[in-house]
Amino acid sequence: MSSDNAPTVRQRRIGSALRKAREHHNLTVATVASRFGRSQGWMSMVENGLHPIAPEELSKLLDFYQIPDGPLRTSVLHLATHRPGSWERVWEGRISAAALDLASLEEDAAEIRTFQSNIVPGLLQTPEYTRELIALGPAKHSRYVKTLVDFRQSRQRLLSRPDPPRYVPIIAEAVLHNQVGDDPAVMRAQIRRLTQTARLDHVHLRILPKTASGYLSLITPCHLIYLRPPGQLTVSVGDQFTKSVFVEDEEEVASHEEIFELLLSATLSRAASLNLIDGIASQP
């Protein structure tokens, strides 16, 4: 594949948004290409992330799809304007560009690797657990609790679809004992959810035991997302207090992968991790 047609994470993100917008209007690639004055091949290349699109042309296509001003439009135009390397997204009290970027990449993933040191990963959370976490945040989030909870639950559907990604979450053992909210029943229900999800063939849940807590100094909460073809693309997403950082630089991503492997080497086996969770779930 020539460098001109080499996919990038940014182009895949833009293409995915355009494909969903087209499908929302029940339009074929051929129909859009004809009405927009572009070839069908060009439209397909853009939707597959195999061809860049100029910001001006992207804006016109977003207008064609009636995408209003808001996080989605801002997100894809930002990616079309800025050069590859990494990008940041500020978290807001509603469905922000950061959330949309993450969800879009997850949907296109062949494999997702996640590390969380303090909470259960979002793809494994119960609605009640998520609601309690949001309630602890800034007051402005309270206006969007239902929206944020529903959005996180919608992200979880990818684990139950016919062709789910391989999911490898690492959770620090302390997370299983931390109480979230005033009602202990919330955490008990969350542990039961973990016991069920961890038994799915494509979910490889691993626990980092308390005896290996020193490894927590190597990494902050993050996601490694391996996108499906075309291309061999991986993006590293770092969770920070007020923003997410999306890294697509190959050398930097490789270093994050190396650290994740070190962390994985210190975890309990999949079977031992499940036994530990089952033991906690069986406690009165």
Q: Residue ranges of the domains in the chain?
A: 1-84, 86-284
Buried b / exposed e over 191-226, threshold 16 CB at 10 Å, is: bebbeebbeeeebbbbbbbeebeebbeebebbbbbb
The verdict on domain 86-284 having CATH code 3.30.870.10 is: yes
Q: Which residue has the tokens 């997702």?
A: 112
Please state, for a pLDDT cut of 70, what percent of the chain lies above it: 93
Q: How many helices (H) and strands (E) does the chain have?
A: 11, 7
Supply angle C-alpha 274, 226, 200, rounded to 5: 25
pTM equals 0.82
pLDDT, residue 84, reads 65
Buried b / exposed e over 242-251, threshold 16 CB at 10 Å, is: eebebbbeee
pLDDT, residue 6, reads 63
Q: What is the pLDDT along the chain (284 residues), one digit of tens a residue?
A: 334 566 788 888 899 889 999 999 999 999 999 988 999 999 999 998 888 899 999 999 999 999 998 888 988 898 888 766 667 777 666 788 888 889 989 998 999 999 999 999 999 999 999 999 988 877 667 788 888 899 999 999 999 999 999 999 999 999 999 999 899 999 999 999 999 999 999 999 999 999 999 999 998 999 999 998 876 789 999 987 678 889 988 899 999 999 999 999 999 999 999 999 999 999 87
pLDDT, residue 5, reads 60
The CATH number of domain 1-84, selected from 1.10.630.10, 3.40.50.300, 1.10.260.40, 3.40.50.2300: 1.10.260.40
